[in-house]
Amino acid sequence: MEKSNKKILKVFEGFAGYGGGHFALNRLKDKYPNFEFEIVGYSEIDKYACELYDLNHKDKNGNTITNFGDITKLNPDDVPDFDIFMGGFPCQPFSTAGMQKGVDDPYGRGTLFQHIMRICEAKKPNYILLENVKGFFSKKFQSTREQMEEMLREIGYFKDKNDES
């Protein structure tokens, strides 16, 4: 049997919900059959979303994928290394469908981005893919976006035209 040198993209899904990122990767694999990925774990606290995730997504052996639970309590050392962090911080504080309280969200959801940064700073994945919601790019959240860009820059993920190589 010949061993393949093909790289498998290792993925961690934060704020996974029912696994929308996983569904997207499956669609990508349908279009590009040589594309290989493995979800090394996910983080989700909503009981019903977790049930759906576990019903819809299995590892290569047919087992449920490890849910590392509450991202605010997640120890990055407990998570296998991964190439890409996929997901988004909860959208309700920024979405036009939500209260649009941003970082002042009364449930604390508007500041959960810092946990993505904490995990990515420790794990150093090659890529971070974050969800965007309608309303996040409004003028109201400009300072929040700028703070997020600065956090990404500080850990080496964001460059703009003024950054040196």
CA dist 78 and 22 (Å) reads 21
- CB 80 within 8 Å of CB 65: no
- CB 105 within 8 Å of CB 140: no
**CA-based max dimension of the chain:** 58
The residue type found at 68 is F
CA dist 28 and 30 (Å) reads 5
Known catalytic residues are: 91
CA dist 125 and 77 (Å) reads 13
